[in-house]
Amino acid sequence: MMQSTIYKLIEFFIIFIIIPISFTIDFALWIKAIIAITGFIYIVYYLLRIEKNKFKIAANLNWSRFFKATFFKLILIAVITITFVLISNQASLFKVVLNKPLLWLVILFVYSAFSVYPQELIYRTFYFQRYKNLFKNEHILIFINAIVFSLAHIFFRNTLVILLTFLGGLLFAFTYNKTKSTLLVSIEHAIYGSWLFTVGMGEMLGFPS
């Protein structure tokens, strides 16, 4: 039953569509927390017991190639986002890092450790290991991953956030599909997300400022 296509499709629909959309509805925060925690426990159980993930750092990771590619993409992202902030809200440019450096460091740590890694377990590790056989074309697999990742941020009710997370989802999906490493894609996610907070786009993504 766990491996049936119908079960997987229902599971996919519940985890990646119904739950994120439900979070846009105004109901008790504690109920949302229970739903999110229950879903995360289910996913971790699957990864540990069904897929037998050991969560060890692979010995064959190409760190040099990864950081070169990530740095190149970060430069491009930096140019685009700095230009955007200068045009849309110049006062926000590097506001937090310049005025509240301690808060900036704390938020980067909390975000990277307690937000990015769980997201990557759900949206890359679980998604790719669980549903890769449902898609004959890996480009469709990646495209759908970007869509559901952006859908996870729909509760922000912000079109720009949806666009940014869709593009980010594409980048992270390509990285995971290529490296099969939760660690590498988590590092990449943390770098780009931390940059958005640093450059002054954090408020729309829920970062305190």
pLDDT digits (tens, 9 = 90+) for 27-45: 888 999 999 999 999 999 9
How many CA atoms lie within 13 Å of 198's alpha carbon, on the beta-carbon side?
13
Check residue 92 and give its pLDDT: 92
The percentage of the chain sitting over the pLDDT mark of 90, rounded to a whole number, equals 79
Return the sign of the alpha-carbon dihedral for residues 156, 182, 122, 151. Answer: positive
Number of domains into which the chain is organized: 1
How many CA atoms lie within 13 Å of 121's alpha carbon, on the beta-carbon side?
21
- pLDDT of 190 > 60? The answer is yes
Secondary structure of the chain as H, E, C letters: CCCCHHHHHHHHHHHHHHHHHHCCCCCCHHHHHHHHHHHHHHHHHHHHHHCCCCCCCCCCCCHHHHHHHHHHHHHHHHHHHHHHHHHHCHHHCCHHHHHCHHHHHHHHHHHHHHHHHHHHHHHHHHHHHHHHHHCCCHHHHHHHHHHHHHHCCHHHCCHHHHHHHHHHHHHHHHHHHHHCCHHHHHHHHHHHHHHHHHHCCCHHHCCCC
Residue-range definition of the domain harbouring residue 194: 5-205
Mean pLDDT of the residues in the chain: 92
pTM of the model as a whole: 0.92
